[in-house]
């Protein structure tokens, strides 16, 4: 809930100082938010989302394929659990319009064996679908990461289903898993014609697994870190794709930040290394995420490079998350009321004191109660912090609900930035 607090702060600063929205003019001419045919915003109401475009019904027009956070419990999950695993499903919005002007009326779940296909999700990341032909049979496979960090793959079956689900493993039999909240992009990282895996972890940074097999039978020996020439400093990333941004024939990396809304690229230098990131679209910290003019696109952008308007120039599609307040409204004096509210001051001090204690052991402080704690933090200290953090979050939620007359929900919203 600290997050919502900072968001509210940003909303208020934005309103009072007249800050503009995201900065995108260097590469893009304009942007739009995807809508349904009835003019309502295309909203994934179960949280964050990841999107790609793919012709799902073979009519020659690409459809919108959206992985969601989800809300339906995974089998065997207890609804009384604080954060049970839910089914991060995949929505198919068929294109009822044209290639140049897609129209979406509704969606169907992508299925496997007659049931909605899903990956397990509990926090911080949705299903993020991606397609590539990794076994050279001319038919693309479907890939996604998930919260526990495994990489899922399905083969195309009959009637639009995706079947034969596997978790991709290394040659030694261990699943490829770089950490929680991971996403995957299948693509040819090293340019040898075989599909490799580019893997981003919200907490762990950017990695890749080289395909050392053949074009028909993939094989992965190990997972290596990718750093975009930042030395030991890992990239803050939640999703990354391969795309030749500068058109020099070598695939570069385009990635969405792990925190906030920035999108950057790292140029492929051709020797297996990448240049330092350059920002493509910047959503400055003082610009809040939202659908209104003057607000910016949502957080943790998942990237898809796709010519959305069919003008021959590939555009940047961002599947993002946006907090929506379901209460009356965020009044201009909300921030003032919030900082005057003294109930959260003492719990905040307690929390800060515990963070200070943790810093004696490491700078790697847990972001929230779902973060795996750094092993250098003593267990009892971490547990004290966890209890204090949960209490503080609950309190902030209550105060916010009181002040706004409702709760806050996370929605998946999709922006398209049109390339100049």
The residues binding Ca ion (CB under 5 A) are: 133, 135, 137, 139, 188, 190, 192, 194, 196, 244, 246, 248, 250, 252, 268, 307, 309, 311, 313, 315
Closest contact distance (angstroms) between CB of 359 and Ca ion is 40
Closest contact distance (angstroms) between CB of 31 and Ca ion is 12
The nearer residue to Ca ion, 63 or 252, going by C-beta atoms, is 252
User: How many other CB atoms sit within 10 Å of the CB of residue 390?
Assistant: 13
The nearer residue to Ca ion, 86 or 142, going by C-beta atoms, is 142
The nearer residue to Ca ion, 139 or 328, going by C-beta atoms, is 139
The nearer residue to Ca ion, 74 or 305, going by C-beta atoms, is 305
Closest contact distance (angstroms) between CB of 148 and Ca ion is 25
Closest contact distance (angstroms) between CB of 247 and Ca ion is 7
- What's the chain look like in SS3? CHHHHHHHHHHHHHHHHCCCCCECCCCEEEEEECECCCCCECEECCCCEEEEEECCCCCCCCEEEEEECCCCECCCCCCCCCCCCEEEEEEEECCCCCCCCCCCCCCEECEECCEECEEEECCCCCCCCEEECCCCCCCCEEEECCCCCECEEEEECHHHCEEEEEECECCCCCECECCCCEEEEEECCCCCCCCEEEEEECCCEEEEECECCCCCCCCECCCEEECCCCCCCCCCCCEEEEECCCCCCCCEEEEECCCCCCEEEECECCCCCECCCEEEEECCCCCCECCCCCCECCEEEEEEEECCCCCCCCEEEEEEEEEEECCCCCCCCHHHHHHHCCCCHHHHHHHHHHHHHHHCCCCCCCCCCCCCCCCCCCHHHHHHHHHHHHHHHHHHHHHHHHHHCCCEEEEEEEEEEEEC
Q: Are 414 and 363 in contact (CB under 8 A)?
A: no
The nearer residue to Ca ion, 140 or 324, going by C-beta atoms, is 140
Closest contact distance (angstroms) between CB of 338 and Ca ion is 42
Closest contact distance (angstroms) between CB of 142 and Ca ion is 10
The nearer residue to Ca ion, 162 or 382, going by C-beta atoms, is 162
The nearer residue to Ca ion, 311 or 372, going by C-beta atoms, is 311
The nearer residue to Ca ion, 24 or 385, going by C-beta atoms, is 24
Closest contact distance (angstroms) between CB of 135 and Ca ion is 4
The nearer residue to Ca ion, 190 or 329, going by C-beta atoms, is 190
Closest contact distance (angstroms) between CB of 310 and Ca ion is 7
Nearest to 316 by CA among 267, 371, 358, 264: 264
Closest contact distance (angstroms) between CB of 276 and Ca ion is 15
């Amino acid at each position: 809930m600290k997050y919502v607090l900072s968001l509210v702060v940003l909303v208020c600063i934005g309103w009072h100082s007249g800050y503009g929205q995201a900065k995108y003019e260097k590469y893009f001419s304009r942007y739009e938010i995807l809508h349904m045919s009835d003019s309502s915003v295309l909203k994934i109401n179960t949280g964050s989302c990841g999107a790609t475009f793919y012709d799902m019904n073979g009519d020659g027009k690409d459809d919108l394929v959206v992985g969601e956070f989800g809300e339906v419990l995974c089998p065997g999950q207890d609804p009384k659990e604080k954060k049970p695993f839910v089914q991060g499903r995949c929505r198919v919005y068929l294109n009822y319009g044209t290639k140049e002007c897609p129209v979406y009326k509704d969606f169907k779940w992508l299925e496997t064996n007659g049931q909605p296909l899903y990956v397990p999700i509990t926090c911080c990341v949705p299903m993020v679908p991606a397609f590539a032909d990794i076994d050279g049979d001319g038919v693309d496979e479907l890939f996604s990461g998930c919260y526990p960090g495994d990489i899922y793959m399905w083969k195309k079956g009959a009637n639009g289903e995706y079947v034969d689900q596997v978790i991709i493993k290394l040659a030694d039999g261990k699943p490829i898993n770089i950490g929680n909240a991971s996403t995957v992009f299948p693509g040819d990282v090293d340019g040898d014609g075989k599909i490799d895996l580019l893997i981003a972890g919200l907490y762990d940074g950017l990695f890749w697994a080289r395909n050392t097999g053949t074009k028909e039978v993939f094989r992965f020996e190990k997972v290596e870190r990718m750093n975009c020439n930042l030395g030991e400093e890992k990239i803050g990333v939640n999703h990354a794709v391969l795309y030749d941004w500068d058109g020099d024939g070598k695939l570069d990396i385009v990635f969405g930040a792990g925190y906030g809304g920035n999108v950057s690229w790292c140029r492929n230098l051709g020797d297996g290394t990448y240049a330092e990131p350059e920002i493509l679209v910047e959503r400055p910290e003082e610009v809040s995420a939202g659908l209104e003019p003057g607000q910016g696109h949502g957080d943790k952008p998942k990237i898809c490079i796709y010519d959305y308007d069919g003008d021959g120039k590939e555009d940047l599609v961002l599947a993002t998350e946006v907090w929506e307040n379901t209460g009356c409204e965020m009044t201009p004096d909300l921030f003032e009321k919030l900082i005057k509210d003294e109930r959260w001051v003492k719990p905040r001090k307690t929390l800060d004191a515990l963070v200070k204690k943790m810093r004696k052991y490491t700078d790697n402080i847990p972001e929230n109660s779902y973060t795996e704690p750094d092993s250098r933090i003593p267990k009892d200290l971490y547990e004290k912090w966890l209890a204090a953090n949960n209490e503080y979050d609950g309190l902030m939620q209550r105060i916010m609900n009181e002040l706004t007359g409702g709760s806050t929900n996370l929605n998946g919203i999709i922006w398209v930035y049109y390339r100049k």
